[in-house]
A and B are shown apart, each in its own frame.
Chain A
Amino acid sequence: MNKEKFEIVTDNLRKQHPDLMDEKAITERIMLNLHSPRTDNRQRIIYLIRTVTAVASILLMVLYVVQTAPWNENLVSENRNSEKVLQKEFYSRFSGLNSKTTVKLYREYLSENILKNNKLKALKNQ
């Protein structure tokens, strides 16, 4: 019973066609808007947003790959190791001495460092 009604109502609705009075006016409006600056600008903005988001996503991907890559972990651990070696060297040079000797040696150590730094700067400037 209901199935019949459903079919009757859809059949009747299908036979109803809406009137479109100003067909020509709509066509003209479409033709005018094809090259309107508003639609062109909107298109440009969409392209710009798409480009920016694409570049940003690529950069994030690259950053992620760089951070998770195994060679990057080696580099980080190497840096940590060299820092530890420097710290050990410093403590081994100054530990076990009295305060006066320590200050004197520390001053010498600093002046040595200054010289080294100056040399490094000079090399960098070249």
Chain B
Amino acid sequence: MDQTGIINIVNQCRKGDSSSYRLIVEEYQYMIYQLAFRMLCNEDEAKDIVQETFIRAWQNFSKYRPEIRMSTWLYTIATNGCIDRLRHKRNENTDTDMQEQLKYFASNENIEQHLINSEQAQLVMALTCQLTPKQKAVFTLHYLEELSTEEIQKITGLSAEKIKSNLYLARKSIRQKLELLDHE
């Protein structure tokens, strides 16, 4: 869907036409789900975030500016929702099976094997459980969603320097984790 098409849909949504909004939901639903899943490492919570994100977006269409990409705007709402949830969550311990899986994932390039959702979640959790909510958000957006620093700036509202420092700390923590795995 191109930006002109999105702006037309947004204009219709502002008039209260919810049937056009369905197109936006269908287009971006999976993208938001994937981000939330990778950040929260939980399928149900990720689905809740998807729902919350699209309802908030619908309620705040008046604040949407056409110069911002729809994906960036939705990412912003979803990331804030995920950070809020992560702040209220305790760090969960990773089990030893996952550490083995992580070792395998860290030593073999181009693994074609597709993991089921719970395994993916545990794997990401094993890797990122030590990170703060902001570090986790920046790490997920940069390394897993492959977004640029400018886009992460727009999404998180953090300065380029803060993004770099959060990425540095995230990398450091993950590297330490991988180093520990080698010694076990």
- Taking CB atoms, residues of chain B closer than 8 Å to A76 are none
Total B residues in contact with A, Cβ cutoff 8 Å: 45
Inter-chain contact B146/A30, CB cutoff 8 Å: no
Contact among A26, A34, A43 for B47, CB-based, below 8 A: A26
B contact patch SS: helix
Inter-chain contact A18/B120, CB cutoff 8 Å: yes
A20 to chain B, nearest CB (A): 5
A10 at the interface (CB under 8 A from B): yes
Residue of A nearest to B41 (CB): A18
Inter-chain contact A2/B29, CB cutoff 8 Å: no
- Taking CB atoms, residues of chain B closer than 8 Å to A43 are 59
How many chain A residues sit at the interface, stated as a range, is 20 to 34
A63 to chain B, nearest CB (A): 32
B68 at the interface (CB under 8 A from A): no
A19 at the interface (CB under 8 A from B): yes
A31 to chain B, nearest CB (A): 6
- Taking CB atoms, residues of chain A closer than 8 Å to B43 are 18
Tell me the complex Cα distance, A15–B143, Å.
Answer: 11
Inter-chain contact B106/A8, CB cutoff 8 Å: yes
A114 to chain B, nearest CB (A): 65
B168 at the interface (CB under 8 A from A): no
A86 to chain B, nearest CB (A): 60
B64 to chain A, nearest CB (A): 15
Inter-chain contact B146/A14, CB cutoff 8 Å: yes
Inter-chain contact B18/A13, CB cutoff 8 Å: no
A30 to chain B, nearest CB (A): 5
Tell me the complex Cα distance, A19–B34, Å.
Answer: 9
Inter-chain contact B107/A30, CB cutoff 8 Å: no
A89 at the interface (CB under 8 A from B): no
Inter-chain contact B144/A13, CB cutoff 8 Å: yes
Contact among A13, A27, A29, A39 for B127, CB-based, below 8 A: A13
A17-38 contacts to B (CB < 8 Å):
17-20, 23, 26-27, 29-31, 33-35
Tell me the complex Cα distance, A29–B54, Å.
Answer: 11
- Taking CB atoms, residues of chain B closer than 8 Å to A26 are 29, 33, 47, 50-51
- Taking CB atoms, residues of chain B closer than 8 Å to A3 are 175
Inter-chain contact A17/B175, CB cutoff 8 Å: no
- Taking CB atoms, residues of chain B closer than 8 Å to A33 are 51, 55
Residue of A nearest to B112 (CB): A15
A5-B106, A14-B144, A31-B22 provided; 9 other pairs, C-beta below 8 A?
A8-B106, A10-B144, A12-B106, A13-B105, A26-B50, A26-B51, A30-B25, A31-B21, A39-B55
Which 8 A-B pairs rank lowest in CB-CB distance, beginning with the nearest? A9-B106, A18-B37, A10-B143, A5-B106, A30-B54, A2-B175, A12-B105, A5-B178
Question: Chain B interface (Cβ within 8 Å of chain A)?
Answer: 18, 21-22, 25-26, 29-30, 33-34, 37-38, 43, 46-47, 50-51, 54-55, 58-59, 102, 105-111, 114-117, 120-121, 123-124, 127, 143-144, 146, 171, 174-175, 178-179
